[in-house]
């Protein structure tokens, strides 16, 4: 890899990392290409990016993006995106399904996060799920009122 290619990779990663709300570093050693492709497909559906990068290049990009403090060792795959819940959900779901895939560290909400925080965030409902819950709550009184009116109507018809 030439120096220009490395500089280009660092610049691209730096731009991506600056925009990201969550960056998760995972160990993927021993996973087949097919399983990694499954991770990439699941991430693509959620607008999350996945890439294997040399630790030195990733470290430079992270430092330039002012996201420091993560310890990068061994083989790593980087998962990042603008929606931190989507990133954590993709990683946690893949972690549950694959024994060889391990979450190492993360950078979430401006600080280094551990595995427990990543897993806790993955269990939170997404924005769309919260909106659906809110709509159900708003719709419940109207629905119960119409059910009550219908029951009253049927009772009156039976008495008549």
Instruction: Copy the structure tokens of residue 12.
Output: 């691209």
Whether the pLDDT of residue 30 is over 80: the answer is: yes
Q: Give per-residue pLDDT as tens, 64-92.
A: 888 887 878 888 899 999 888 888 999 99
DSSP string, 112-128: EE-HHHHHHHHTS--HH
Q: How far is CA 157 from CA 5, 40, 120, 150, 151, in A?
A: 80, 60, 54, 11, 10
d(CA 117, CA 134): 25
pLDDT in tens, 106-143: 988 888 888 888 888 888 887 788 888 888 888 888 88
Query: What percent of the chain stands above pLDDT 90?
Result: 16
Token pair, residue 115, equals 């595995």
φ, ψ (nearest 5 deg) of residue 144: -65, -35
pLDDT at position 37 = 92
Calculate the alpha carbon distances from 115 to 30, 79, 106 in Å: 20, 14, 8
């Amino acid at each position: 890899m030439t120096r220009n290619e490395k500089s280009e990779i660092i610049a691209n990663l730096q731009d991506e990392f600056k925009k990201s709300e969550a960056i998760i570093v995972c160990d993927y050693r021993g996973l087949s290409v097919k399983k990694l492709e499954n991770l990439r497909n699941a991430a693509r559906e959620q607008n999350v990016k996945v890439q294997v990068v040399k630790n030195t290049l990733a470290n430079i990009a992270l430092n330039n993006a002012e996201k420091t403090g993560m310890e990068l060792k061994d083989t790593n795959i980087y998962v990042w995106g603008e929606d931190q819940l989507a990133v954590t959900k993709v990683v946690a779901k893949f972690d549950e399904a694959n024994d060889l895939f391990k979450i190492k560290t993360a950078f979430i909400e401006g600080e280094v996060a551990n595995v427990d925080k990543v897993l806790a965030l993955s269990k939170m409902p997404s924005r769309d799920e919260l909106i659906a819950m809110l709509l159900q709550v708003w719709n419940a009184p109207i629905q119960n009122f119409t059910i009550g009116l219908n029951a009253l109507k049927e009772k009156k018809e039976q008495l008549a």
